[in-house]
Chain A
Amino acid sequence: EDQVTQSPEALRLQEGESSSLNCSYTVSGLRGLFWYRQDPGKGPEFLFTLYSAGEEKEKERLKATLTKKESFLHITAPKPEDSATYLCAVRQGGSEKLVFGKGTKLTVNP
């Protein structure tokens, strides 16, 4: 049973067309939810950490939010350079392990 599910698997946007990516999780005792960006042929690049429901973090055109069951990565007025795969990961209580979702591949067309 997947502990972390990301949707959609792929998303194609026009430049400037805002949207959201979803990460739902089923772990108990969440000790952190992490968002990463991964470009082709590269390692994941850290974006945000969220620790408790209601928390929000922002960076340029990206905003991450967290509820008790899911997290959203909102992308406002995206640009082609935002094209990448976005990964979500969770760490649950009592463990140092990071469990990843399968990612959302975002393509932003000019």
Chain B
Amino acid sequence: NAGVTQTPKFQVLKTGQSMTLQCAQDMNHEYMSWYRQDPGMGLRLIHYSVGAGITDQGEVPNGYNVSRSTTEDFPLRLLSAAPSQTSVYFCASGVRNTEAFFGQGTRLTVV
């Protein structure tokens, strides 16, 4: 089992560019989520999904889109990158009502 796999590990974008952060899990987990982690702010929830075809907003959803067409994949789209979106992004998955398992993160810099 690979667990939760995030790609890419590092990315530099120019302001205004768009991109998709990929997240895939091979554990057949219903629940998947995206967090961003910034110094002094902790992990903040961006979007989450409780199953294929179902998504909902977290604490900081503005500027991000998600979709969940399959159980395995939960991509995060940045529509028009801004310097404020410079952060480390983590994807997590889990069975409902239990713990979440995290990927290794994507370090994004927007210049």
Contact A100–B42 (Cβ < 8 Å) = yes
A102 located at the interface, meaning its Cβ lies under 8 Å from any Cβ of chain B in the complex: yes
Chain A residues with CB under 8 A of B45: 97-99
CB distance B96 to A96 under 8 Å?
A: yes
- Across the interface, do B99 and A43 meet the contact criterion of CB distance under 8 Å? no
State how many angstroms separate the Cβ of B27 from the closest Cβ of chain A: 13
Contact of A46 among B33, B50, B101, B103 (CB under 8 A): B101
The B interface, classified by DSSP as helix, strand, loop or mixed, is strand
A34 within 8 A of B: yes
Within 8 A of B (CB), among A79-110: 87, 89, 91, 96-103
Residues on B with C-beta less than 8 A from A24 are none
Contact B105 A49 (CB under 8 A): no
Distance of B18 from chain A, by nearest CB (Å): 24
Chain B residue contacts of A98, Cβ below 8 A: 33, 45, 92, 100
- Our pick among A36, A43, A45, A102 for the contact of B105 (Cβ within 8 Å) is A43
List 17 additional contacts besides A96-B48, A102-B41; criterion CB under 8 Å: A31-B97, A32-B98, A41-B105, A42-B104, A44-B90, A46-B100, A49-B98, A87-B43, A96-B96, A97-B45, A97-B48, A97-B58, A98-B100, A100-B35, A100-B44, A102-B40, A102-B42
- B residues with CB within 8 A of A: 4, 31, 33, 35, 40-45, 48, 50, 58-59, 90, 92, 96-105
